[in-house]
Copies of this chain bind each other. A is one copy, B any other.
Amino acid sequence: MKVSEIAHLADGEIQGDGEREIRGVAGMETAAEQDLAFADSEAALRSAPESRAGCILVPEGTVLAGCTTIAVRNVRLAFIRAAEVLHPIRPAKPGIHPTAQIAPDAQLGTGVTAGANVVIESGASVGEGTQLGAGVFLGEGVTLGSRCVLYPRVSIYPGVQVGDRVVLHAGVVLGADGFGYLFAEGHHHKFPQLGGLVIENDVEIGANSTVDRGSLGTTHIGEGTKIDNLVQVAHNVRIGRHSVIAAQTGISGSAVIGDYVTIAGQVGVADHVRIEDEAVIGAQAGIPTGKAVRKGSVMWGTPARPLSEFKKMYAHLSRLPELAQKIKELSAKLPQTKE
């Protein structure tokens, strides 16, 4: 791919050698002469002239003397798009591996691939072009959309519905029973876990994460939402569209999370919490049972409070020893104080 072709793709302006051949993308420090790199911070732009990259994507209006650059409006977006062309997803080996066990009544779209030891149970359906890694398990009646990628050892319980272009990393478990018991007569009775699980289009879920089915209702993950590794999503949770949930976060039963929400790592969201659109939850925060987080608010700490309040409280917390000392001094000034 020539620099000029990338510039055309990215709607950008070339400085330097448009005929240069580019073979891949790389970070600026490690890029070689046939790599495309990017620089969108001041620090990166300063160090750019030392890079061996064949071409550097830069913000509009930037000139880097001696470098071949393409100036674009959104540097990282242009980089992502070039990477998609230069490093297309490696197509899986075509066809169905002879060791795959596929129920006679399962429906497979055209171009579906299945690795070794894949198991597809009765009544399941898989959309066209979807790739199933080695050892993937699809339970009875599971429906997968088209052009999904399931990495090895993904396990999907019966009846789960998954949209198009969904990416599930290795070890993901979808549709296991929710964790609901009634304590009576000296032991725990399992509450029915008969509900569904719906994953909409363009969702990605990280390695070894777990999403439970609903108890009576449905667990739901909206379009374009991205979930990191080792995340737990409990029964009856509803997550909106285009939200982002970082690693090791846990969302408890019946929590409702809006659109464009950002949840950092190791956050705990208790049951029946409601997080409205565009809210941001800081790492390790804990949202107590039933709490509502308003639209666009930024929450921190356990129990979580607005970031500005958290910061103020935290500053005072650091000054506690000093405050205690001052109280002692004040007491000393008042000799009549009984202590």
Which residues of A does B touch, CB under 8 Å?
24-27, 29-30, 74, 76-77, 79-80, 83, 87, 90, 97, 99, 101, 115-117, 119, 133-135, 137, 140, 151-153, 155, 157-158, 167, 169-171, 173, 176-177, 179, 181-192, 194, 202, 204, 206-208, 210, 212, 216-217, 224, 226, 228-230, 232, 234, 242, 244, 246-248, 250, 252, 265-266, 268, 270, 283-284, 286, 288, 301-303, 312-314, 316-321, 323-324, 326-327, 329-331, 333-334, 336-337
Q: Within 8 Å CB of A90, what residues of B?
A: 140, 158
A157 contacts B170, CB within 8 Å? yes
A179 contacts B228, CB within 8 Å? yes
Q: Name the one of B80, B151, B202 contacting A191, with C-beta atoms under 8 angstroms.
A: B80
Alpha-carbon gap, A26 to B330, bound state (A): 61
Alpha-carbon gap, A8 to B214, bound state (A): 28
A327 contacts B320, CB within 8 Å? no
Q: Within 8 Å CB of A224, what residues of B?
A: 187-188
List 4 extra interface pairs beyond A76-B182, A76-B191, A115-B119, CB under 8 A.
A80-B182, A234-B247, A284-B284, A326-B331
Residue of B nearest to A336 (CB): B333
A80 contacts B135, CB within 8 Å? no
A74 contacts B184, CB within 8 Å? yes
Alpha-carbon gap, A196 to B334, bound state (A): 66
Residue of B nearest to A134 (CB): B119
A30 contacts B216, CB within 8 Å? yes
CB distance from A153 to the nearest CB of B (A): 5
A208 contacts B316, CB within 8 Å? no
Q: Within 8 Å CB of A87, what residues of B?
A: 192, 194
A230 contacts B228, CB within 8 Å? no
Of the A-B pairs whose beta carbons lie under 8 Å apart in the complex, a sample of 11, sorted by A's number, is A25-B216, A77-B184, A87-B194, A99-B99, A115-B119, A212-B229, A270-B283, A302-B302, A319-B324, A326-B327, A330-B337
Alpha-carbon gap, A215 to B204, bound state (A): 16
Residue of B nearest to A139 (CB): B152
Given A119-B116, A135-B117, A330-B337: A151 in contact with B171 (beta carbons within 8 A): no
B265 contacts A252, CB within 8 Å? yes
